[in-house]
Amino acid sequence: METLHNFCQRYFLPKPVYITSRNQAGNICRVKSIYKDVEYNSGECANYKIGKNIIAEQIYNDIKESTSRSLTDFFGTESVCILIDGDQRVDCWRFVCKSDIPDNIIVFVYTGPTSFSVDSNDVHHIRVPSTSKDAADARILMDLGGFLAINAYHTYYIVSSDHILVQAAIDSPNVNSIINLKEFLRTAEQTSPS
């Protein structure tokens, strides 16, 4: 169940809701869940925890395979993921507060726990709990690795003033660095699919 919970949290997917029932004797339970219009059943189990784990594994296996495909379909065939080190790049705040980010671009901004909040439907704000200046960098690289593992997006861009982070990221395929966010956005708007 923890694997599914972490996967849903990382890729901003809804968490399943479990419905439990017991037989009249109380010694056998059943668990079911309807997730993305698919019904999952545990069958007969000794307790709720076993039933929830059975269903969580079924859901995880189904969504793990389809997540790459559905993200690409949702964000367009040329989907772009921008990962921004919000504590390093002050210019990023003008970019993320812009309301007309093209539909094929998804933006993640990573900051420490004390930065102000990003309130936008177009931007996912990830706050790392640690105040260490490297904590957001580590989370960026972990998320980038996860996205690359499932081929979630077509192209990735890293926005950071931390040269070590940028170099580590751009050594991966389909990962680039953005130096001028304003120029990038102008180019993206001109080339975004209609």
Stated pTM of the model: 0.55
What is the per-residue pLDDT for 77? 46
Together in a domain, 95 and 178: yes
Mean pLDDT of all residues in 122-150:
86
pLDDT averaged over every residue in the chain = 77
Q: pLDDT category, 124, cuts 50, 70, 90?
A: confident
Q: Is residue 99 within 8 Å of 127, Cβ to Cβ?
A: no
**Nearest 5 degrees, angle CA 128-CA 151-CA 159?**
45
Nearest to 146, CA basis, from 61, 59, 68, 56: 68
pLDDT tens across 43-95, in order?
899 888 998 999 999 988 887 766 544 444 434 446 788 888 887 666 677 66
Together in a domain, 104 and 184: yes
Domain of residue 13: give its range: 2-67
Together in a domain, 183 and 121: yes
Query: For position 156, which CATH number holds?
Result: 3.40.50
Q: pLDDT category, 104, cuts 50, 70, 90?
A: confident
Token digits of residue 71: 């993200």
How far is the C-alpha of 20 from the C-alpha of 96, rounded, in Å? 42
Q: pLDDT category, 111, cuts 50, 70, 90?
A: confident
Is residue 74 in some structural domain?
Answer: no
What is the per-residue pLDDT for 6? 76
Q: Is residue 127 within 8 Å of 112, Cβ to Cβ?
A: yes
Together in a domain, 96 and 187: yes
pLDDT tens across 13-25, in order?
677 888 889 888 8
